[in-house]
């Protein structure tokens, strides 16, 4: 059996880690880069119709959800030495990490990158995770499934109520930032910024907490067990397959497409592709409408969207664990660059956003930009893994979250 972990004694290096989780994290990063670089909808040369691109089919929505689910896994793995350093210090460590993530997110939000930056939401989710760290796997499993099934329904009801009270278009236009949260919006529109992060924005924490809980549940399982890996892969594939099939079938209904087009002010010619990729359709205008509940468009936050992307994330994690732990060492060798890239996600994500801000609309060929950025991620990840170093931002966040607190074992209770 292949080793599924890597170790190093370097003070700049990585602790023992599950390489399958690194591979899943790398796929999430590479997928998000593809979504930001490559068009999600393209014109079919043969028919002249607008159709989803390969990125629109494969990566739209599912990459960022995978990133969030893996974050839930990471939070639990990070807290597993609580008995040594004390739960209170784990909480402080997570709060410090969350603070760094939020500050980085607000900073990147100032840039005109064209990227919907996830780091502020990511930081908020780290804080929320603290409340669930001590729960058992069984409780977390029930909570995660319940959240993913019920919260999108409640999300739709909440939005419907607010639209009825304020007007559908007025609510969406006035209670969303229409930009990334940043220091300026935080100062000038603190209420709208908070509401955007929690409810009305691109990654509504109210619903995305379910993805975090799903990752935490996965981390509480035996991640070195082959049956567990098969269960994750099979169950995730089943849920994703059923929900995607249902969503794609329902999205082909002409009457439903007309309604989505009218309510979201989408060009009718673009609506069929937009309903599958989310690109070109502002789905926030649809939230709560009866037709919205059967949408599968990425980032629509509709029930089928949430369940299908959650299923994809679980299946990918299961497959990555199988490939790295049950291939007699071959998986770790073949996937070495992905393992390295997955160990430095924050560095790669921030670098990607900076590059997109610099390139702007003059990026050139999408394929060229995509392959260069993918190649840079894999090369940097490989190089840092060879020398046993963390990425620059991983080192920063590790230093901030560990060296600013005292890591002594907790004192025994004298009572």
pLDDT digits over 62-106, tens only?
Answer: 999 999 999 999 999 988 876 677 888 899 999 999 999 999 999
Residue 70 makes CB contacts below 8 A (sequence gap 6+) with: 21, 24, 25, 28, 215, 313, 317
The stretches in the chain having pLDDT less than 70 are 1-16, 82-83, 361-364, 403-415
* Whole-number pLDDT of residue 79: 86
Is residue 297 within 8 A of residue 248, CB to CB? The reply is no
Task: Retrieve residue 111's tokens.
Answer: 């840039």
pTM of the model: 0.92
Task: Give the total residue count for the chain.
Answer: 415
What is the reported pLDDT for 7?
Answer: 44
CA angle 201, 159, 207 (to 5 degrees): 50
Residue that the structure tokens 């600013």 belong to = 404
* Contact of 338 with 379, CB cutoff 8 Å: no
Under 8 Å between Cβ of 28 and 66? yes
Given CA atoms 315, 316, 319, 320 in this order, what sign does their dihedral have?
A: negative
Concatenating the DSSP letter of every residue in 348-369 gives HHHHHHHHHHHHGGG---HHHH
Angle at 84 between CA 92 and CA 8, to 5 degrees: 90
Nearest by Cα to 109 from 348, 281, 282, 350: 350
């Amino acid at each position: 059996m292949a080793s599924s972990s890597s170790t190093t004694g370097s003070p700049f290096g990585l602790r023992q880690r599950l390489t399958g989780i690194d591979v899943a994290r790398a796929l999430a990063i590479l997928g998000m880069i593809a979504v930001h670089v490559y068009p999600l909808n393209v014109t079919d040369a043969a028919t002249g119709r607008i159709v989803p691109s390969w990125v629109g089919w494969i990566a739209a929505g599912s990459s960022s959800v995978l990133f969030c689910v893996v974050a839930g896994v990471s939070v639990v793995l990070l807290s597993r030495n609580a008995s040594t350093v004390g739960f209170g210090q784990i909480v402080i460590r997570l709060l410090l990490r969350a603070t760094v993530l939020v500050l980085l997110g607000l900073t990147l939000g100032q840039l005109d990158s064209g990227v919907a930056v996830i780091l502020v939401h990511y930081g908020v989710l780290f804080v929320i995770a603290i409340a669930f760290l001590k729960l058992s796997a069984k409780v977390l499993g029930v909570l995660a499934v319940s959240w993913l099934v019920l919260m999108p329904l409640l999300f739709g009801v909440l939005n419907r109520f607010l639209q009825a009270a304020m007007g559908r278009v007025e609510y969406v236009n006035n209670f969303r930032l229409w930009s990334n949260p940043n220091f300026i919006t935080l100062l000038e529109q603190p209420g709208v910024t908070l509401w955007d992060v929690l409810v009305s924005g691109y990654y509504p924490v109210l619903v995305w907490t379910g993805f975090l809980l799903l990752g935490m549940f996965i981390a509480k399982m035996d991640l070195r067990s082959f049956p567990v890996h098969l269960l994750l892969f099979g169950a995730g594939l089943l849920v994703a397959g059923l929900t995607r099939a249902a969503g794609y079938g329902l999205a082909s209904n002409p009457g439903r497409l007309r309604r989505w087009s009218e309510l979201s002010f989408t060009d009718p010619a673009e609506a069929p592709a937009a309903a599958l990729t989310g690109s070109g359709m502002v789905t926030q205008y649809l939230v709560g409408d009866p037709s919205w509940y059967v949408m599968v468009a990425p980032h629509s936050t509709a029930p089928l969207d949430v369940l299908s992307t959650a299923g994809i994330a679980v299946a990918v994690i299961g497959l990555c664990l199988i490939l790295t732990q049950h291939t007699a060492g071959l998986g770790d060798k073949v996937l070495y660059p992905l393992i390295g890239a997955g160990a430095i996600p924050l560095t790669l994500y921030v670098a990607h956003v900076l590059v997109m801000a610099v390139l702007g609309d003059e990026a050139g060929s999408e394929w060229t930009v995509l392959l260069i950025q993918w190649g840079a991620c894999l090369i940097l990840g490989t190089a840092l893994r060879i020398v046993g170093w963390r990425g620059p931002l991983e080192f920063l966040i590790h230093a901030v979250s560990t060296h600013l607190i005292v890591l002594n074992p907790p004192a025994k209770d004298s009572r």
